[in-house]
Amino acid sequence: MKQTFPDVNKGDRITGVQRPGESTRIFVNGTLRGELRDAEFTRRFFGIWLAPQTSEPKLRQSLLGPALARS
């Protein structure tokens, strides 16, 4: 995991891609940095921001946008 998640520098962009039930792919500045093949990690990691019980419901609403209204 330490190899996949780098130290963040000003201007860096880190993107996580959820592959439900499979893995988490991490891109740094558009380049694939690594993949964590652990379904439970993937569920919990993205749940930080996207789970209904998140501690940041406004951020969740912003991230999900119209998709949240349809659920």
Domain ranges of the chain: 14-70
**Residue 40 to residue 43: CA distance in whole angstroms:** 5
pLDDT at 56: 92
Global confidence as pTM: 0.76
Mean pLDDT by 10 residues, the chain (71 residues): 85 93 94 95 92 92 76 56
**CB proximity list for 41: less than 8 A, separation 6 or greater:** 24
